[in-house]
């Protein structure tokens, strides 16, 4: 069984410390603690019944980055926020002296939140990616450390690479994981992403997605053809000159490039002629 941040160890002890001595972890895997108003009211009434879990500053922290704090928070970021809102001066903490490295602390935070089902897919993905970056683990080794199937690790890591538009929509529960990955296919095309996000939840989403994919494929195919035209000595023009001939007349066996006008300079004459890449219309 994978240990959690609250699993007792030989280096665990319970104390009451000043609230100012506890610092929210800079690598907290939760991006947002949410509204703690109700929790703060409860804490103000009966106190903090479950201790916070803290650890000493990891080896990468400096005294300056810790400020006046003594301990880094591992588990209980919502409770810490509620305690501050309730204006507590001291809080109970479970001190984990064994969590001394950044990787060990992130791992403990991740496992604790996974067992509570507190993380969003984006938060989970970011935490996995951070552990891979810090500790140099393989996905298989990471899966064993956090007690999750390797397939889940692999699928979540895809989300760590999606763009901001899809990420924000997923974090706000506006799209599914599958839709977020589909929308992220167009991270370099904000207009297409905007259209897809508008179509989410409607009967037109699948049609809109397929249309966007088809347009991208056609644009890529056009770019390849234009590159071949350029290599053949054909200069592509933005507009079709009046009275121009069709490209097929100049290069009979050349692949068609729809909606494009080209200028060709035959080697023998040295003269320039222009032609549209599409077929005759009349």
Cα–Cα distance for residue pair 93/96, rounded to 1 Å: 9
Are the C-beta atoms of 107 and 29 separated by less than 8 Å? Answer: no
Are the C-beta atoms of 135 and 102 separated by less than 8 Å? Answer: no
- Three-state DSSP class for residue 200: coil
Cα–Cα distance for residue pair 168/172, rounded to 1 Å: 6
Residue 177: HSE in the Cβ half-sphere, 13 Å Cα cutoff: 13
* Single pTM value for the model: 0.52
Q: Which of these, 218, 217, 215, 192, lies nearest to 205 by C-alpha position? A: 192
Query: First and final CA of the chain: distance in angstroms?
Result: 75
Are the C-beta atoms of 125 and 31 separated by less than 8 Å? Answer: no
| Beta strand spans in the chain (E) | 12-18, 22-23, 52-55, 71-75, 90-96, 234-237, 261-264, 273-276
Q: pLDDT tens digits, the chain, 282 residues: what are they?
A: 444 555 555 568 899 999 999 998 988 877 777 888 888 888 888 888 889 999 999 878 888 888 888 899 998 888 999 999 999 999 999 999 999 899 999 988 888 878 765 678 888 899 899 889 887 888 888 888 888 888 989 999 999 889 999 998 998 888 999 999 999 999 999 999 999 999 998 889 999 999 999 999 998 898 888 888 888 887 766 555 555 544 444 444 444 444 444 454 454 444 444 444 444 444
What domains can be seen in the chain, in order of their start residue? 12-159 (3.90.1530.10), 164-213 (no CATH), 232-282 (no CATH)
Residues 6+ apart with CB under 8 A from 224: none
Q: Which of these, 2, 26, 29, lies nearest to 110 by C-alpha position? A: 29
């Amino acid at each position: 069984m994978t240990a959690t941040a609250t699993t007792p160890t030989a280096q665990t002890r319970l104390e009451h410390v000043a609230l100012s001595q506890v610092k929210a972890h800079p690598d907290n895997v939760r991006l947002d603690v949410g509204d703690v108003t109700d929790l703060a009211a409860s804490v103000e009434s009966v106190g903090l019944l479950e201790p916070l879990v803290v650890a000493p500053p990891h080896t990468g922290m400096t005294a300056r980055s810790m400020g006046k704090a003594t301990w880094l928070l591992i588990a209980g970021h919502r409770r810490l926020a509620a305690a501050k809102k309730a204006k507590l001066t001291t809080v109970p903490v479970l001190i984990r002296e064994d969590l001394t490295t950044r990787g060990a602390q992130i791992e403990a935070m991740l496992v604790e939140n996974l067992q509570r089902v507190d993380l969003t897919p984006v938060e989970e993905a970011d935490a996995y990616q951070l552990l891979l970056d810090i500790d140099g683990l393989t996905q298989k080794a990471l899966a064993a450390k956090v007690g999750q199937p390797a397939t889940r690790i692999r699928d979540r890591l895809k989300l760590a690479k999606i763009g901001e538009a899809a990420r924000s929509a997923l974090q706000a529960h506006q799209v599914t994981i599958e839709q977020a990955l589909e929308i992220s296919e167009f991270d370099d095309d904000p207009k297409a992403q905007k259209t897809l996000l508008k179509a989410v939840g409607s009967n037109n989403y699948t049609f809109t997605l397929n249309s966007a994919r088809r347009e991208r494929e056609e644009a890529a195919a056009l770019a390849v053809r234009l590159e071949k035209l350029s290599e053949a000595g054909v200069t592509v023009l933005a507009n079709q000159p009046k009275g121009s001939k069709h490209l097929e007349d100049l290069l009979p066996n050349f692949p068609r490039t729809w909606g494009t006008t080209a200028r060709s300079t035959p080697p023998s004459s040295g003269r320039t002629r222009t032609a549209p890449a599409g077929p005759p219309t009349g």
